[in-house]
Amino acid sequence: MSREHERERNVDIGRIGVTLALLFAAFYFLLPILWVLFASTKSPGDLFATGGLWFSDEPQFIYNLQRLFSESNGIFGAWVLNSLLYSGVGALVATVLSVACGYGIARYRFFGKEAFFGAILGGVLVPATVIALPLYFLLNTVNLTGTYWSVLLPSMVSPFGVYLARIHSGAIPEEVIEAARLDGAGEVRIFSTIATRMMVPAIVTIFLFQFVTIWNNYLLPLVMLNDTSKFPITLGLTLWNSQTQRDPYFYTLVVVGSAVSAFVLIGIMVSLQRFWKAGMTAGATKG
The CATH number of whichever domain residue 171 belongs to comes to 1.10.3720.10
Together in a domain, 186 and 141: yes
Calpha distance 189→195 (Å, rounded):
9
- Complete DSSP assignment for 176-203: HHHHHHHTT--HHHIIIIIIHHHTHHHH
254-264 pLDDT per residue, tens: 999 999 999 89
Together in a domain, 35 and 128: no
Using the predicted structure, report yes or no on whether residue 284 has a pLDDT greater than 80. no
Owning domain of residue 185 = 81-224
- Complete DSSP assignment for 65-115: HHHHHHTTTTHHHHHHHHHHHHHHHHHHHHHHHHHHHHHHHHH---TTHHH
Together in a domain, 93 and 206: yes
Cβ(272)–Cβ(202) below 8 Å: no
Together in a domain, 32 and 94: no
Together in a domain, 220 and 119: yes
Together in a domain, 91 and 199: yes
Using the predicted structure, report yes or no on whether residue 287 has a pLDDT greater than 60. no
Output the pTM of the full model.
0.85
Residue 234 counted as domain residue: no
Give the end of a domain, one of 169, 197, 224. 224
Q: What is the mean pLDDT of residues 99-108?
A: 91
Predicted confidence at residue 280, as pLDDT, reads 44
141-152 pLDDT per residue, tens: 999 999 999 999
Residue 276 counted as domain residue: yes
Residue 213 counted as domain residue: yes
Together in a domain, 111 and 211: yes
- How many independent structural domains does the chain possess? 2
Calpha distance 252→45 (Å, rounded):
10
Residue 179 counted as domain residue: yes
Residue 114 counted as domain residue: yes
Residue 236 counted as domain residue: no
Residue 233 counted as domain residue: no
Predicted confidence at residue 200, as pLDDT, reads 87
Percent of the chain with pLDDT over 70: 89
Residue 208 counted as domain residue: yes
